[in-house]
Amino acid sequence: MSIAYSKQPIVRATASGATRAALIDSLAGILTSAGWTAETIATGKRMMCTSPQGLQAKLWLQDLGEAMVSIYGPAVSLRMSCADLSHSTATHKLMAGRDYDVIAGRCQAFVAMPDVSSQVASDGYWGHHFACGVPWLPETPTGDCTGRLSTDVGAAWWLSSSGLHSFRNGYQHEYSNWAGYWSTDGLAVRGAVSLSAHLQARVKSLMNDPYSTPPQVVYGNGDPMYLDPLIAWGTPGESGPPKIRGQIWDAVWPSLPLDLGETFQLDEVDETTGQPFQATFENWTYSHEAGRIPPTWLGCLCLALPGTGGSEGNYAY
């Protein structure tokens, strides 16, 4: 697999709202401009994303009133579901009364407080960011990839929320902060994890000093590798280990440390037209945790910015 370009509009915007209802409206407006469709429900909005491959899922943005108030203040309720509402995640939270950076495409959304990782936020690991979407699937599975784009895939979607282990916070993963659904051949598998983050966590766990800086995986001349941000579904343990199902659209995972919000460009060639183009990416991973969990040196999730296009793949990396 390689970089999966959706060739669909990408939106980089700021969501804000002093109240839960205002934040829901702001997020819904941004997602709509990125190609999501909105449905008004009694408690807020139900947003549906559709990938270029036709996979769909719904994100529920709800104002559940006092049920979503804690010592950290009011929050919007978030959950992901199948398009037919047959399966859904538990409730996740996003604090109201704050501004959020948003990078959204037609089939995924990344939302987070600007310049802040929840690991270092003064009010704990609660409701500072989330990401969700439907994955890119290969037409024909190869190697260890068990996902394929065909009629036997009824639904596939993922959600990652606030916590120590997420795309925003670094190289580790934790199932409690991930949710997903995968349906194929009549088999429904819950539980999702970023395989790129999972592999990095595994490297860290094998080190003698768990708080030392993880090694870089680079070429002999020091150039980084540009890895696929893979998504796996499964459950912890040997009985049902995560298996590769697909990957995140319009994203890449370079094996080098980057500052939050740092941008870079890759020279690409559109496989459909043969025309060259430049893809611009922004680092979404807070990788420099001073004094807390060690920095993410093994890689960062980088998202394509508006204006990036191309075919579903690049020539080499």
Give the pLDDT band of residue 295 (cuts 50, 70, 90): very low
- Distance separating alpha carbons of residues 278 and 267, to the nearest angstrom: 5
Determine the average pLDDT of the residues in 295-316.
63
More confident residue, 163 or 276: 276
pLDDT at residue 44, as a whole number:
95
pLDDT band of residue 206 (cuts 50, 70, 90) is very low
Model pLDDT, residue 62 = 94
- In this predicted structure, which of 135-139, 186-190, 245-249 has the lowest mean pLDDT? 186-190
What's the predicted TM-score (pTM) here? 0.84
pLDDT band of 313, cuts 50, 70, 90: very low
pLDDT at 152 over 50: yes
Instruction: Give yes or no for residue 150 having a pLDDT over 90.
Output: no
The length of the chain is 317
Poorest-confidence range of 68-82, 97-111, 150-164, 256-270? 150-164
DSSP 34: T
- What pLDDT, on the 0 to 100 scale, is given for residue 167? 73
Report pLDDT for 282. Answer: 95
Of 240, 16, 47, 8, residue with least CA distance to 132: 47
Average pLDDT, the chain: 75
Nearest to 248 by CA among 106, 134, 79, 141: 134
Cα gap 256→214, rounded to integer Å: 11
- Predicted local confidence at residue 184, as pLDDT: 60
3-state SS, residue 66: helix
CA–centroid distance for 145 within its chain: 19
Selection from 261, 301, 248 nearest residue 132 by Cα:
248
Residue 200 has pLDDT above 60, yes or no: no
**Residue-level pLDDT at 279:** 92
For residue 282, CA distances in Å to 102, 110, 258, 272, 305 come to 12, 12, 9, 25, 7
Provide the pLDDT for residue 49: 96
34 vs 219 pLDDT, higher one = 34
Distance CA 193, CA 181 (A): 11
